[in-house]
Amino acid sequence: MTFKPYRRKAYYYETDRMDIVHHSNYVRWLEEARIDLMEQIGCPFSETERRGIVSPVLSVETHYKYPVRFGDEFEIRSHISSFNGCRFELDYEVINLSSGMQSLTAHTSHCFTTPDLKPVRLKKSFPDIYEKFAAAAEESNSEK
């Protein structure tokens, strides 16, 4: 499985007085890309949450390189850098397609819990979801 990058344009409301996308919006975009990636691996949020699994954010690290401006088209290339059945980590690269420049690199970490934040071991409780994540992590790491 090859993951498709998440693509869209920057909206006017996401910009600041300097006419560039405000830094806080990149974190929102990472969330959009994570949701898209989970759909691509066959674990959409709607399904995992229906089954009682949530994946809260544990940490976010961002490195801003080159601005995205209103109307610029960009893509986010995401891959699973780590997965152990209880936690997973993602690496991201935001490419400004309008300029061809790398705009951001980022890393997020997440865990799997019940809605009341009790840890979930996917391999034991949800082996089908575990297998999808394990296969996606293996695929992600083989593409590096």
Look up the CATH number of the domain holding residue 95: 3.10.129.10
Q: Tell me what percent of the residues of the chain surpass a pLDDT of 90.
A: 92
Q: Residue range 68-84: average pLDDT?
A: 97
Q: Which two tokens stand for residue 69?
A: 């401006």
Query: Which range among 1-10, 24-33, 44-53, 117-126 shows the weakest confidence by mean pLDDT?
Result: 1-10
What is the residue-averaged pLDDT of the chain?
Answer: 95
In a domain, 59, yes or no: yes
* Single-letter residue type at 92: Y
At residue 139, does pLDDT exceed 90?
no
pLDDT in the model for residue 71? 96
pLDDT in the model for residue 143? 65
In a domain, 1, yes or no: no
Q: How many CB atoms lie within 10 A of CB 48?
A: 18
Q: What is the distance of C-alpha 123 from the center of its chain? A: 22
pTM for the full predicted model: 0.93
Q: Residue range 26-46: average pLDDT?
A: 96
pLDDT in the model for residue 1? 61
Total number of domains constituting the chain: 1
* Cα-based angle 72, 79, 65 (whole degrees, multiple of 5): 40
Identify the helix (H) or strand (E) that includes residue 60. Answer: strand 57-64
* Residue positions annotated with a catalytic role: 16
Cα end-to-end distance, the chain, whole Å: 14
At residue 2, does pLDDT exceed 80?
no
Report H helices in 78-143.
Answer: 122-125, 127-142
* Domain boundaries, position 103: 6-142
At residue 144, does pLDDT exceed 70?
no
Using CA atoms, how far apart are residues 12 and 141, in angstroms rounded to an integer?
A: 35
In a domain, 129, yes or no: yes
